[in-house]
Amino acid sequence: MIVAELLEVTKRFGSKTALGSVSLAVCEGSVVALLGPNGAGKSTAMAVLVGTRRPDAGVARLFGRDPRAATARAHLGAMAQEIAFPATVRVRELVDLVRVHYERPFSASRVLARFGLEELASRQVGGLSVGERRRVAVALAFTGNPGFVVLDEPTAGLDRETRRAVWEAIREHAERGGAVLLSTHYLEEADALADWVVQLAEGVVVAEGTVSGLKASARTTLVRFRAEPGVAIEDAIREGPYLSLVAADGAEAVDRLVRSGITLVDLEVRPLTLEEALGRTEASR
């Protein structure tokens, strides 16, 4: 079942088109990742989807309703990229404040424990570090036990341990049947979490699909080895002393190189990363 969707949505700010006929859907039990550089339209797409921005054209739906309707937002949890809390409010007070707005929220103790906030519970938010405030913001997005969670750059500035805890919370939410839409600059994050990836560039969708599908569309295996300066191979890219090429079948590519008399020094054969696959997609535009 589709929880949230954009249908041919366009959003302009003056003469700038932030989104140009963008369509995407998030279903129950799934994690969708929005990828793209700063200014690609990720935050604008999220803002339209949660109802804080009105589309200039196209349709946005949240639980089948206009995202600006209170009934649509009743089962939404969200974290914006820019975080601002009253400086003197305490962490536990924030959690309790969010909890009362939901029908079946998690207990405050569960939220604090899940995101490692027990030691910060009595602290005023104004005294927290940037990373700690970000951790609080992520926790609040899940506090109400919502059906749909929207996270804009949720792990930016977090340490590795905390990032892993956030990843686990996202996975658990999807496993319980919830839906998650997140934007990220960390390609390994999308690779680890996403069922579906949407890549934006200059306000339009330039690639989308499963992680495995995107890798397959770019071929899937990188073959890299040290080669003398005069050695050149069709479709291979030289990176200093190394040549690298991408092939659908790494073993077949290595066999072909050996049969051609190429000496394979410092040979590396590995699956293509999501970042490399998307980079090839972007380069082919």
Instruction: Tell the burial category of 29 from Cβ atoms under 10 Å away from its Cβ (0-12, 13-18, 19+).
Output: middle
Domain co-membership, 177 together with 226: no
Domain co-membership, 250 together with 186: no
Report the C-alpha gap between 46 and 6 in whole angstroms: 10
- Indicate whether 273 pLDDT > 70: no
Element (H, E) at 281: helix 274-283
Domain co-membership, 227 together with 192: no
Q: Tell which wins on pLDDT, 271 or 169.
A: 169
What mean pLDDT is reported for the chain?
A: 88
Domain co-membership, 166 together with 268: no
Strands 76-79 and 148-152: parallel
Full residue range of the structural domain in which residue 195 is found? 2-209
How many separate domains does the chain show? 2
Domain co-membership, 94 together with 145: yes
| pLDDT tens, position by position, 95-137 | 999 999 999 999 999 999 999 999 999 999 999 998 899 999 9
Q: What single-letter DSSP state applies at residue 273? A: P
Domain co-membership, 160 together with 21: yes
The percentage of the chain sitting over the pLDDT mark of 70, rounded to a whole number, equals 92
Is there a contact between 280 and 240 (Cβ–Cβ < 8 Å)? no
Q: Tell which wins on pLDDT, 189 or 58.
A: 58
Bridge partners, residue 198, by sequence: 34, 208
State the helix-helix crossing angle for 130-143 and 91-99, rounded to 10 degrees. Answer: 20
Domain co-membership, 205 together with 226: no
Domain co-membership, 195 together with 243: no
Domain co-membership, 226 together with 163: no
- Domain holding 176: CATH number? 3.40.50.300
Domain co-membership, 224 together with 197: no
Instruction: Tell which of 183, 209, 235 closes a domain.
Output: 209
| pLDDT tens, position by position, 198-230 | 989 889 998 888 877 766 654 567 788 888 887
pLDDT number for residue 228: 83
Domain co-membership, 198 together with 224: no
Say what the pTM is. 0.78
Domain co-membership, 195 together with 155: yes
- Indicate whether 60 pLDDT > 90: yes
| pLDDT tens, position by position, 155-168 | 988 888 888 989 99
Instruction: Tell which of 209, 227, 243 closes a domain.
Output: 209
Closest CA relative to residue 278, chosen from 181, 180, 204, 197: 197
Instruction: Tell which of 209, 230, 246 closes a domain.
Output: 209
- Domain holding 277: CATH number? 3.30.70
